[in-house]
Structure 1
Amino acid sequence: MDRHFNIIIAVIAFFSCSVFTAQSEVNHKSTNYNNTKAQKKKIVFVAGKDSHGRGEHEFKAGCYLLARLLNESRPDIDAVVTENGWPEDLTIFDGANVIVMYSDGANEHMVIPHLEEVDKLVKKGIGIVAMHYSIEVPKGKAGNYFYNWIGGYFEAYYSVNPFFIPEMVKLPKHQITNGVKPFKIRDEWYYHLRFANTKKITPILSTYPRLTTLLPEENSIRGNNEFVRKDLQDGKIQTMAWAFKRTDGGRSFGFSGGHTHSNWVNDDFRKLILNAIVWTAKLKVPDSGIVTKTPSAAEMEYLLKAPRPPRTTHG
C-alpha cells in the first residue's frame, strides 16, 4: 500500500512541475541558467483582453506559449506575461528590453491611454513588437506614434484584413528569417498597410494578393477601398510583416498574422516570430533560428478561452 501511495505521489509531483502549472513557470524564476537574471534580456508580453471565439484572438494563450518557448530555448532571455490589457502596475516594464503587444486594436487599442508613457520607454531604446490587431490604431496621434515606434500601422479605409493563404515571395536574407522555410498558411493577413517610409522598413513577409481577397463592398472599413484596388491592379507588392531599425537605435517588428491560435503549431510560422522577438531584443539569432519542439495538443489547449454558448434565436 505504501509503495503504491509513493508512486502516486511521485506521478502527481511530476505533472505539477510541468509547463502547464502556473504563471511562475512563464516568469521563469528557476536558477538553472549560468547567466544571472540581471544579464538577461527582459521581454514583456502584454496580452489584450478577451475577444472573439475560442481559437481566435487567443492573446493570453499565445503570449504564454511564446514566452515559455523563449525561456526554454534562450538562457539569455527572461520572458514574462501580463494579462487582460495594459498593466496597472507599470513596474513590470522596469528593466524591459522589449514589449510585445498582442491585443485588439483600433479605437479601443489598449495602448491609446498610455501613448506618452510608452513613447518615453521607446525613446530609451526599448524594442516594440506588435502582432495582429495590435498594429491597428486610429489615424492621427496614435498613428504618428506607431510611425515612430514600428514604422507603420493598419489604417482603416486604407488597409485591409482578409482571410486567405498568401503566396509569399522569397524570404529575404535577415536574422529574422534564419532557419525559416517558406510556408503557406491561412490566417487573417493584414496588408496595404500605412508606412511612414517604405525605404526605412525591411519587408519580411510579402505577397502579391489577388483582387479576390477583397470584400465585394467597394468602400468598407477594413475589406475594400479605392486605394488598395488601384495598387493591386498596378501589381504592387504588399508587406505583411516587417523589421524596423529606429532612429533612436531601437528595433521593432510588425506582424499582421496571428488571428488563428492553431497556426502556432506550424514550425516555420512560430520560428519567424520567435526569431523576430530575439532580433528586436538585439540578441543574435542562430543560423538555424530559434528551434523549438512543435507544441502538443495539450500545450495548444493550455489557457484557451472556454467555448462560448451557442447563439439562440427568438421569434
Structure 2
Amino acid sequence: MTVQFKDIELKPLTSRKEIAFIAGGPSHPPGEHEHRAGLLLLQKCLAGVKDAHVSFYSIWPEDPSVLDAADAIVVYSDGGGGHIAIQGERLGQLKNAIERGAGFGCIHYACEVPKDRGGQEWLDWIGGYFETDWSVNPHWDADFDTLPRHAVTRGVNPFKMRDEWYYHMRFRPEMQGVTPVLSDLPPPETLSRPNGPHSGNPDVRTAVLERKEPQHVMWLNERPDGSRGFGFTGGHFHKNWADDDFRKVVLNSILWISGLDVPTGGVASSVTADDLKQNLDPKGRR
C-alpha cells in the first residue's frame, strides 16, 4: 500500500487576541475628552498582558481587514450625530465584526448615538446607550461602595470619583443580557438644570428624585451568540486614569470582551504624572 501526503497548510494554534483601539479627534478643553492620550495610556497598561495584542488607530481604520481580524474593538470618541462609528458604512463594518464574535466597548461620549442611527445597534451590541431626552450628563461625585462579583471587578476596590458620569441610560428591556458594574444614586443637584436633550426630563427626575433608583454608569453585555460588550460613561477627565481602580475596571473589561481571562487580581498597571502628560492633543490653553 502506498501512502501519499499532500501539501497541507497547518495554521498554528494561538490564544492571542487582537484588540483594536479607535480614538476620536480633539475635543473639549485640555485635559478633557483626551481620546488619543487615554487610549494610548490604556494600550501601555495592557502591554504586559499575555496574549493581548492592542493596535491603536487615531482615525477610523481605512483597511477593513482591521475590524475583520479584531477580537475586540474599543471606541473612545465624541458621540451624537458626529460619532465616528456611525459614518458611512462603518455601522455595517461593526455589525459584521460583532456578528463574527468580536467584542465591542464604548468609553464616555462614545456611548451616545442617535436613537434612529446607532441606537438599536448599541442596544444589541453593548446593551445600552445614551439616548437624548432620556439620559443626562452631569458632573458629579459617584461613590461605588459595592461592586458585583464578576471577572471585570477582580482586584478592583470600591472607589469614589468625580466625572461626567452619564446616567439614566437606555437599556435593553428588562436588562436582558446586561450586567451593571458601577452604580450609584446621583444626588439631587445633578438634576438642577432645566429639562433639555442632555440635562433633564420628567422620566429621569421621577426615577432619581422620587423612586431613588441607583443609576448604572458602567455595564456589561452578553449577546445570545456569545459576543460581549461594555459601556463606560466615565472618562471625561484625563487625570482620572491615574486612579488604579477606575483604570483597572476598564482594563479588565477590555480583556473580558476580547475573550481573554482576567487575572485573579485584575490587570496590574501603574500610571505616573508624566504618563498623563504624554500624547495629549495640541489644544492650546483654554
TM-score, normalised by the number of residues in structure 1: 0.83
SS at match of 2:54: strand
Q: What do the CA deviations read for 1:121-147 (whole angstroms, capped 9, x no partner)? A: 110000001110000000124101111
The alignment's C-alpha RMSD in Å is: 1.5
**Alignment match of 2:159 (pick from 183, 192, 203):** 183
Give 1:169 deviation, angstroms.
4.5
SS at match of 2:259: coil
Amino acid at match of 1:136: E
**Alignment match of 1:57 (pick from 33, 36, 51):** 33
**Mapped contact 1:68–1:79 kept (Cα < 8 A):** no
Give 1:89 deviation, angstroms.
2.4
SS at match of 1:43: strand
Identity %: 41
Matched, 1:87 2:64: no
Partners of 2:192 and 2:115 lie apart in 1 by: 22
Q: 1:297 is matched with which residue?
A: 273
Within 5 Å, give how 1:1-315 maps onto structure 2. 39-72=15-48, 74-84=49-59, 86-113=60-87, 114-197=90-173, 198-217=175-194, 219-232=195-208, 233-293=210-270, 295-310=271-286
Partners of 1:243 and 1:135 lie apart in 2 by: 13
SS at match of 1:42: strand
Partners of 2:136 and 2:145 lie apart in 1 by: 19
Most deviating of 90-99 and 174-183: 90-99
Unaligned runs of 5+ in 2: 1-11
Partners of 2:211 and 2:68 lie apart in 1 by: 47
SS at match of 1:56: coil
Q: What do the CA deviations read for 1:169-208 (whole angstroms, capped 9, x no partner)? A: 4100000000100110110000000001314210000011
Partners of 1:228 and 1:305 lie apart in 2 by: 34
Most deviating of 92-101 and 188-197: 92-101
Q: Which runs of 4+ in 1 moved over 6 A?
A: none
SS at match of 1:128: strand
Unaligned runs of 5+ in 1: 1-35, 311-315
**Mapped contact 2:68–2:97 kept (Cα < 8 A):** no
Give 1:280 deviation, angstroms.
0.8
**Larger RCO (CA within 8 A; separation ≥ 6):** 2
TM-score, normalised by the number of residues in structure 2: 0.91
Partners of 1:189 and 1:44 lie apart in 2 by: 24
**Mapped contact 1:37–1:78 kept (Cα < 8 A):** no
Give 1:307 deviation, angstroms.
4.3
Partners of 1:199 and 1:252 lie apart in 2 by: 13
**Mapped contact 2:76–2:110 kept (Cα < 8 A):** yes
How many pairs were matched up? 271
Give 1:167 deviation, angstroms.
2.2
